[in-house]
Amino acid sequence: MTKNERKTEDIVRDLFKRFVESIVIEEQSSDTPKIKKLLSTASKGGFGRGSPEFIIQYKKNPDLLIIVECKADVAKHESKDHLQYKDYAVDGALLYSSYLAKEYDVLSIAVSGESEREIRVSHFLQLKGEKKAVEKFSNKLLSPDDYLQGYLKSPEKFRQDYDKLLSFSKDLNDKLHGYKILESDRSLLISCILIALESVAFQKSYKEYSKAEDLAKYLVDTVEMQFKNSGIQDQKLKIVKGRFEFIKTDTSLSTKDGVLREIISDINDNINTFIRTHEYFDVLGQLYIEFLRYANSDKGLGIVLTPPHITDFMARLGEVNKGSVVYDSCTGTGGFLVSAMNLMVNDAKGDQTEIKHIKQNQLIGVEYQAHIFALACSNMFIHQDGKTNILNGSCFDEEIIQKVKEKRPTVGLLNPPYKSDKKNDTEELEFILNNLECLEQGGKTVAIVPMQAALSQTGKILELKKKLLEQHTLEAVLSMPEELFINSKVAVVSCIMVFTAKRPHPSGKKTFFGHFKDDGFVKRKNRGRVDVYGRWDTIREKWIRAYMNKEDLAGLSVNRVVKPEDEWCAEAYMETDYSVISDDSFIQEVKKYVAFKVQNL
């Protein structure tokens, strides 16, 4: 019996025509000149123009195209090599996508079958400039809104947007440098602008201020009002407001007309758009890291900001969920709290009452330095609250310890200041003990510290290791990638320690040691370490599975009974996986060693 492709097209048409208020549907050809040009040589036969059955554009998201290729026969859905463009739906859809992806992000949909009962559906996403399309979504047709949200929240789109954010942050830093705005003030300026842009009135009216002095005052006053309306305590408001006051007196911002207005517009178009799309991501932290790459002022203070993929990983190790109360005793810009908030909100599954309670009551932070405290408060404001539980002061202060304990935290996440060469500097393990003291019994503390804290077998660190095991359980120590903190310009080898609070380490208990050295990130000029090949999600799941199941895997993990005087690292106990060692591996390691020696004189 002859198959009728029109029936397949009718199924697709009937679905999409219900959403014409948000999309434009074109069939067989397009009136958009750019699309016409891209398809002018896209013939399935290799000569001349080609076009899919449907070309769909979003009215408010013109960067994304949806194309649909139909076949009546489900046996003609997809070939093995994807090169039979004329005869198979998937093959044809991918062909058109390859042409359109030169200028657009493209979701290509292949549909085959004559009835809704029998149709087969495949989806592929190919981002602008990418050579490869990746399979997405389920095997059924979805609404345009479902496609849009899936596209915006996809790992592929995040990587694309994150690359743009890094590029913009570099350009913005160069611009602020040109305006002679101090490195220490740049992140504060950005956070101030982002908070002001939360005000509809400010967003509508800031361009009307032609005089720089008036706009600077309006900006700071708007932020003060935003914080007041959110219910922040007077003492915290005083600290935060004081850190933003420089905007009113900075020469470039308050006397040169047009400079501040231009910066606000750039941030609104680039950073604010990113935040709206990727809601729970520590943008301020990433900007701070970018600005630190040009300044040495905070390196002496031991500040090393944790990359966002590691803050998320550590929150997962701590098994953060909607019922957790999370405490970061060294808050910094708030990256750990933002990652924890993301997991908690996702676990709440849309329950707005529960989400509000999470943000107002279940995220606690302490930050000592006033300017970073202001950043943390700003960061939590941008992510809709949580700021009322950020405390300014020392996590070792007895009053602060009692305030934290009143909240009954169940998960501790921290990256403590790294010890300098000064004799009286606080050891990283002291911060871990302090964090554990504040947790409920059975809670989990997950901390990232220099490897030296795990290796030392003498002196003060040995005494701290003894104290830790006397009071708490060492669940795991995970060796991290060698250059994890290269974006912060700090050459420190680190490890993650996981403890269960207030349960002494049982005699004979095995601790999990992970050799987690390859997170898939690679170095790129002017971008630092980035997940260029999209490997991180798969690697993270492998690491977490190994940790949760306490697996012994050659080259990756091992379980061992350890004492305080032992080295707490996988390298001391792990079997070598000789199958992955080659001449090239040896050469690369020698090169790394030589580069390290040269870099460190």
Q: Amino acid identity, residue 64? A: L
Look up residue 51 and give its two tokens: 């076009």
Question: Which residue has better confidence, 24 or 160?
Answer: 24
Q: CA-to-CA distance for 152 and 532, rounded, in angstroms?
A: 18
Closest by CA to 81, choosing from 71, 90, 73, is 90
Question: The whole model's pTM is what?
Answer: 0.77
Question: Domain-by-domain residue ranges, the chain?
Answer: 5-151, 157-276, 295-599
Q: CA-to-CA distance for 390 and 374, rounded, in angstroms?
A: 10
Average pLDDT score over residue span 376-398? 82
pLDDT tier at 67 (50, 70, 90 boundaries)?
very high
pLDDT tens for 488-545 read 656 789 999 999 999 999 999 999 999 999 999 998 877 778 888 889 999 999 999 9
Average pLDDT score over residue span 269-289? 77
Partnered with residue 328 across adjacent β-strands are 365
Q: CA-to-CA distance for 434 and 429, rounded, in angstroms?
A: 9
Portion of the chain with pLDDT greater than 70, in percent: 92
Q: CA-to-CA distance for 89 and 70, rounded, in angstroms?
A: 6
Q: Which range, of 90-94, 102-106, 111-115, 368-372, averages the lowest pLDDT?
A: 368-372
What local confidence, expressed as pLDDT, does residue 217 receive? 94
Look up residue 518 and give its two tokens: 């390859």
Q: Amino acid identity, residue 593? A: Y
pLDDT tens for 151-209 read 988 888 888 888 888 888 888 888 998 999 888 788 889 889 988 998 999 999 999 99
In CATH, 5-151 is 3.40.1350? yes
pLDDT tier at 297 (50, 70, 90 boundaries)?
very low
Q: Amino acid identity, residue 526? A: N
CB atoms within 10 A of CB 319: 14
Q: CA-to-CA distance for 312 and 310, rounded, in angstroms?
A: 5
pLDDT tier at 300 (50, 70, 90 boundaries)?
very low
Nearest 5°: the CA angle 440, 442, 447 is: 85
Look up residue 259 and give its two tokens: 């400079």
Residue 186 CB contacts under 8 Å (≥ 6 apart), including other chains: 173, 176, 287, 291
> For residue 82, how many C-alpha atoms fall within 13 Å in the half-sphere facing its CB?
12
What is 295-599's CATH topology? Rossmann fold (3.40.50)
What local confidence, expressed as pLDDT, does residue 523 receive? 87
- 37-70 burial, b at 16+ Cβ within 10 Å, e below that, comes to ebbeebebeeeeebbbbbbbbbeeeeebbbbbbb
Average pLDDT score over residue span 560-584? 84
What local confidence, expressed as pLDDT, does residue 558 receive? 96
How buried is 341 (Cβ within 10 angstroms: 0-12 exposed, 13-18 middle, 19+ buried)? buried
The stretches of 329-414 forming alpha helices (DSSP H) are 335-348, 352-361, 370-382, 398-406
Q: Which range, of 64-68, 281-285, 441-445, 483-487, averages the lowest pLDDT?
A: 281-285
